Chains A and B, each alone.
Chain A
Amino acid sequence: MTGKPKFAMYWAASCGGCEIATLNMHEKILDFDANFKVVFWPVAMDAKYKDVEAMEDGEILVTLFNGGIRNSENEHIAKLLRKKSQILVSFGSCAIEGGIPGLANLTEMHHFFDTVYTTVSTDNTNNHRPQVEYDMPEGKITIPEFKPVLQTLDQVVDVDYYMPGCPPETHQIAAVIDVLISVVKGEAVLPPKGSFLGVGNSTVCDECGRTRNLKKITEFKRIQDIKKIDPDLCLIEQGILCNGPATASGCESKCPSVNAPCAGCYGPAIGVKDFGARMITAIASVIDAEDPDEIERIMDGIIDPAGTFYRFGLANSMMRTGKASWNGK
């Protein structure tokens, strides 16, 4: 026996929630450990990039990669892990769609450096900015270079599978791990390349228990402005912008079941190219008004359209904000 198949998990531009959701599988981790040898997982254990660099190509069986590609380090590791892994899984919203960090693609790079380094809350009187290279007496030191836009993993490297969610639900991760174990044991075969794993066929509404009627929206409300949310009626019908109709199922409708609108973290339903565009056309279709001024008034109730409809998917949207400047530098 040449030893257990090797496993890696990496975080690029992400928050760490994906690893917590993975570690949250409790005793399932024992199954996991019995079947895999973890070779690289910065959150869970110490490892060095050079150890990975020293591996044979394809030495790692499976890598779960979360986070978007925000800087040159993220890109380097994405390419490295691609080379060293037989199966590369784009794991979680940020890796697949850009996620929350991807919203920065709405802004030019110098603008958000201004925000970070010169706003009043920052003590930076000499207006220092990060530099990629700096000459020290001991020699030149470098930090990763910030990219003009955040890219998704599959915009940078070839990806085998996708596992959406912010984070992916633990029970879905556990189920996928089970499938992987079966595949390793030769009891199952891998799904076709490009498949989405740990996700349902339909959308969140399919798993939502709320009553649904014909939708006629005359006003959008934010949940904090509603005295009492009807626990049994579709949130959209109550004027709350819920992304459930457009969001892939798989989470068991977690947010709507506790009176919170679906944020859309599971991304678009399978086959849909642009989550935000889908949601916008859907919402526009059910606005109950003919008069342009009235329509305008209703639409004004959508306080943050980009943040609502493209909260997770901006970097992977058809607009791919910033793509041109990315190519042209």
Chain B
Amino acid sequence: MTTAGTIDAALLSALPTAPTETVVPTKEQSAAAATLLGATWAAAVQ
């Protein structure tokens, strides 16, 4: 969209600047985390 000029550049520039270090979990990482959460979350916050 940027190359084609179809993105709303003003809106894009208004986004908060992303943190210098960013984590985007992969599918596999999310699956592992979900398994752990399912097993332990309820007891952790009861």
A and B are partners in one complex rather than unrelated chains: no
Residues of chain B having any CB pair with chain A under 8 Å: none
